[in-house]
Amino acid sequence: MTATVIDRIGLLVTNRPELGEGPLGVLRDAALVVEDGRVKEVTRAGVAGDANVDAGGRCVIPGFVDSHTHLVFAGDRSEEFAARMAGRPYAAGGIRVTTEATRAASTEELRTLTRTRRWEGLRAGVTEVEIKSGYGLDPESERRCCQVAKEFTNEVTFLGAHVVPAEYEGQADAYLDLVRGEMLTACRPFARWIDAFCEEGAFDADQCRAVLEAGREAGLGLRLHGNQLRPGPGVRLAVEMGAASVDHCTHLTDDDVAALAGGETVATFLPAADFSTRQPYPDARRVIDAGATVAIATNCNPGSSYTTSMGFCLALAVRDLHMTMEEALQAATRGGALALRRDDLGRLEPDSRADFVILDAPSYSHLVYRPGMPLVAETWVEGRRAWPE
Amino acid sequence: MTATVIDRIGLLVTNRPELGEGPLGVLRDAALVVEDGRVKEVTRAGVAGDANVDAGGRCVIPGFVDSHTHLVFAGDRSEEFAARMAGRPYAAGGIRVTTEATRAASTEELRTLTRTRRWEGLRAGVTEVEIKSGYGLDPESERRCCQVAKEFTNEVTFLGAHVVPAEYEGQADAYLDLVRGEMLTACRPFARWIDAFCEEGAFDADQCRAVLEAGREAGLGLRLHGNQLRPGPGVRLAVEMGAASVDHCTHLTDDDVAALAGGETVATFLPAADFSTRQPYPDARRVIDAGATVAIATNCNPGSSYTTSMGFCLALAVRDLHMTMEEALQAATRGGALALRRDDLGRLEPDSRADFVILDAPSYSHLVYRPGMPLVAETWVEGRRAWPE
């Protein structure tokens, strides 16, 4: 395969400090040479031979790695959302409403819905995505969700332990037997990860531990939803078990922060969920300043965060989580890659996967300076332009 | 001219309660017939004859009326923005930096920059836009800005009284003599409105009153920036003088709210500016519940709100200003029209201007339910599709 040259890049973010200036390893007037889906060379503009793509002085960043999504679902919960925003009571059953719609949908319908959402993510600059199950909640429905997810990414997460479905009301342990048994077996062929929702109203620490242990025995990597709505044991459990990521991290004690700083687990913030549920935002400064590794993801789901826009998440991360532009961009690219334990993603250096975004802007700071604007001009995945098609 | 029929509209917002359900006058399974740039008929799907456009069950809303923008400027202040977000001091002179760049730009450059921003607004569903001068601040530069603005809208606002330019430092009254004299004369042929920035650090109530009076004598309508950074006399002055709109309204006393409720002046909120400056959000509930008319606008400008996304402003209005979806949508459409005293805009009823947006969504609530997403599928202005071209 011949090389493709992206030339006349006004500002190139490599996320490799050794290659350029500052923590993002920024180069001015640069070119990117890609071959066989990988970065071959990062060099100066105009020296790389024939340009195939003229970036025209615009900014190029590593593609966003959206390490937390629930893209496979059916149904619409905008009425519930509107009621919540207006402070009106709403009788809907939250996740269970989506579970009903998802179970009722055909596999082909789920595939079509997921394809549209994945396309929206590409349009927003997402070059790799994690997708969780968790709206099937019976072995066959979870299997279908994992199977569909696997058609769009290798980063599939089995989340049978999302909530207790209606038919197991009051029998959480019996449900978790199913999760760790037949359901895990059905989903295992499609999944790389196992996840659980550690929160009052979902599952407690012992229950989550048992689920993650079963997943580990089956060869899956570990992730956890923790500390979303109140302080709890999630963060410490995740770190203790060596999970790749613990997600939400909105309510943290000093012990939680110390655990994150001392462990191997990435703290993943999901600010669009805090936006859409009017929760307080996490204190990202405390976590970063303690030395922990952080990521930002969309948490795209129909209940608490129905967005695929990493740009929107970045704007919130800077404005409301008080991250710097550089921290936020890194968290949304390299941070996401680390949350998925992927060393080939989230950087633009020789041999990393050629996943990048050409912005309609001279600098990545416009992602926050221009909130709500669709600033992605082109999204490239493995050296090919994936959006616009 | 023959009629164009937009058929199979799943949900049509008319903003005329008599035509449908609720405060937005919503119709389901509707069609819109437009002719000669006007709405000819609002009817049921399938009965209007040959469809020219199939909305495919999607939602159609009146076009956004962005009643407060500063689209004519040159230069970039993303570094200043990043510094502010990071809490770092930054030596830049705010508006004066933009004034320098704007004065230095050729008219053709200003035209090109403004065209791009207006195109971004069309892409975001903005079918009518107000554009202020205010970065020229000398007679010839202000005239050029008004002239360029007039190429894009009839709703041009002369804002010579934005701040005191560097060359008049310490001589505000001498500068205002210029504003009310030569500068007003130069700008008058292009402008419909006059505006002033009533705030500590800009101009006080007496100064603003003198500017607005001069504008009124010259035949211009009145607008005012007021109560953005702290309580002040702006809102009461605007109401007392019968201004069409007073914009920002972030810091309001009980007297201010009572004045708005008893007057003819629209209270225009600019939530993206509060977002980008980390100001508190206005208490929109108090203003609405008192009975005042409200609008939402982008305030697109390079210093405090560099966005043309009305969808982003809507999401903030609901999440952080605690408006309902319906209030926010109405404020961004009909409210903007009222802030410009335009009865032909902001509604879809017979004889109103055929300005509307086809959303990539089944309901307008998705504009908030899906924050950060580009949900505008098509923008129609005066009965023609303006975006995509």
Enclosing H/E stretch for B217 = helix B205-217
Looking at residue B1, what is its pLDDT? 58
3-state DSSP of chain A: CCCEEEEEEEEEECCCHHHCECCCCEEEEEEEEEECCEEEEEEECCCCCCCCEECCCCEEEECEEECCECCCCCCCCHHHHHHHHCCCCCCCCCHHHHHHHHHHCCHHHHHHHHHHHHHHHHHCCEEEECEECCCCCCHHHHHHHHHHHHCCCCCEEEEEECCCCHHHCCCHHHHHHHHHHHHHHHHHHHCCEEEEEECCCCECHHHHHHHHHHHHHCCCEEEEEECCCCCCCHHHHHHHCCCCEEEECCCCCHHHHHHHHHCCCEEEECHHHHHHCCCCCCCHHHHHHCCCCEEECCCEECCCECCCCHHHHHHHHHHCCCCCHHHHHHHHHHHHHHHCCCCCCCCCCCCCECCEEEECCCCCCHHHHCCCCCCEEEEEECCEEEECC
* Span B322-337, average pLDDT: 98
Strand order in the sheet with B156-161: B131-132, B156-161, B193-198, B221-226, B245-248, B266-269, B294-296
At residue B92, does pLDDT exceed 60?
Answer: no
Q: What is the C-alpha to C-alpha distance for residues B66 and A224, in angstroms, rounded to an integer?
A: 43
Residue B42 has pLDDT above 80, yes or no: yes
A388 backbone dihedrals φ, ψ, rounded to 5°: -65, 150
Q: How confident is the model at residue B160 (pLDDT cuts 50, 70, 90)?
A: very high
Q: Does A324 touch chain B (CB under 8 A)?
A: yes
Residue A319 is nearest to which of B77, B120, B275, comparing CB atoms? B275
Give the range among A114-118, A120-124, B48-52, B286-290 with minimum mean pLDDT: B48-52
State the average pLDDT over residues B187-215.
97
Extract the tokens encoding A78: 């905008």
Q: How many CB atoms lie within 10 A of CB B227?
A: 26
If you average pLDDT over every residue of chain B, what do you get?
A: 96
pLDDT of residue B210: 98
Question: Could you count the other beta carbons within 10 Å of the beta carbon of residue B67?
Answer: 34
Residue A92 forms contact with B (CB below 8 Å): no
Contacts of B358 (CB under 8 A, 6+ apart): B6, B53, B55, B58, B59, B60, B376, B377, B378, B380
Residues 262-291 of B with CB under 8 A from A: 272, 275-276, 278
Contacts of B370 in chain A (CB under 8 A): 306-307
What is the spatial distance between Cα B245 and Cα B162, in angstroms, rounded to a whole number? 16
Nearest to B319 among A85, A308, A374 (CB): A85
| % chain B with pLDDT above 70 | 98
B60 in Cβ contact with B359 (< 8 Å): yes
- What values do phi and psi take at A206, rounded to 5? -65, -40
Query: Helix or strand or coil: residue B40?
Result: strand
Specify the pLDDT at position B47. 77
Nearest to B317 by CA among B338, B335, B302: B335
A78 touches B: beta carbon within 8 Å: yes
Tell me if A368 and B82 make a contact (CB, 8 A cut-off). Answer: yes
Q: Do B85 and A324 count as a contact with CB atoms less than 8 A apart?
A: yes
Give me the amino acid identity at B342. Answer: R
Contacts (Cβ under 8 Å, ≥6 apart) of A329: A13, A24, A61, A314, A364, A367
Among candidates B76, B307, B372 on the partner chain, residue whose Cβ is nearest the Cβ of A307:
B372
Interface with chain A: mutation pick from B370, B376, B387, highest number of A CBs within 10 Å: B370
Flag if B373 and A307 touch (Cβ within 8 Å): yes
Complex prediction ipTM = 0.96
SS3 at position B45: coil
Residue spans of chain A under pLDDT 50 = none
pLDDT band at residue B388 using 50, 70 and 90 as cut-offs: very high
pLDDT of B87 reads: 87
Interfacial B residues in 226-245 facing A (CB < 8 Å): none
Q: Is A69 on the interface with B (CB under 8 A)?
A: no
- Give B317→chain A minimum CA distance, Å: 11
**Pairing relationship of beta strands A266-269 and A294-296 according to DSSP bridges:** parallel
- How confident is the model over B11-34, as a mean pLDDT? 97
Cβ of A319 within 8 Å of Cβ of B278? The answer is yes
Chain A stretch 110-149, residues whose beta carbon is closer than 8 A to a beta carbon of chain B: 120, 123-124
B206-246 per-position pLDDT tens digit: 999 999 999 999 999 999 999 999 999 999 999 999 999 99
| Cα B188 from Cα B174, distance rounded (Å) | 20
pLDDT recorded at residue A72: 98
CA distance B66 to B238: 20
Contact across the interface for B85 and A363, Cβ inside 8 Å: no
Contact between A370 and B306 using a beta-carbon 8 Å cutoff: yes
Does residue B90 surpass a pLDDT of 80? no
- CB-based contact A369 B275, cutoff 8 Å: no
B341: left (phi over 0), alpha (psi -120 to 50) or beta: left
Residue B129 has pLDDT above 80, yes or no: yes
> Cβ of B84: how many Cβ atoms within 10 Å?
18
What residues contact A167, with CB distance under 8 A and at least 6 apart?
A: none
What is the token pair recorded at A147?
């199977």
Question: Which residues pair with residue A35 across a beta bridge?
Answer: A38
Residue A238 and residue A223: Cα distance in Å, rounded? 7
**Cα separations in angstroms, B84 against A149, A181, B91, B271, B303:** 41, 53, 11, 17, 11
Looking up tokens 């049509």, which residue turns up?
Answer: B12
Neighbour-count burial for A262-288, b at 16+ CB within 10 Å, e otherwise: ebebbbbbbbbbbbbbebebbbbebbb
Which residue(s) pair with B39 in the sheet? B34
Beta carbons within 8 Å of A290's beta carbon, 6+ residues apart: A257, A258, A260, A261
With both helix axes pointing from N to C terminus, report the angle between A95-104 and A139-150 in degrees, rounded to the nearest 10: 80
Token pair of B193 as six digits: 């409105």
